[in-house]
Amino acid sequence: MPTLPAVDLTGLLKGIPRGAWVAISSDHEKVVAFGSDMRAVLEEAKSKGERDPLMTRIPESATALMM
């Protein structure tokens, strides 16, 4: 199975509220949309022309680990 290189999104996600869903552009350069409802965030990203956004959720607590 092919693997993808790690991408540091720390700076990009700075300021996004805990618990929020985030749609990131396919080139990993910008946050396209964020909010509390995953489907709404995905729809907003697609309405802005992002065909295949990277979707992730900001952890509720600082002790959570994202991989």
What are the pLDDT digits (tens) for 26-60? Answer: 999 999 999 999 999 999 999 999 999 999 999 98
**Confidence bin at 66 (pLDDT 50/70/90):** low
Q: CB-based burial of residue 13 (10 Å sphere; 0-12 exposed, 13-18 middle, 19+ buried)?
A: middle
Q: What are the beta bridge partners of residue 21? A: 35, 57
Is pLDDT at 21 greater than 80 in this prediction?
Answer: yes
Q: What is the pTM of this model?
A: 0.82
Q: In what order do the strands lie in the sheet with 54-57?
A: 31-35, 21-24, 54-57
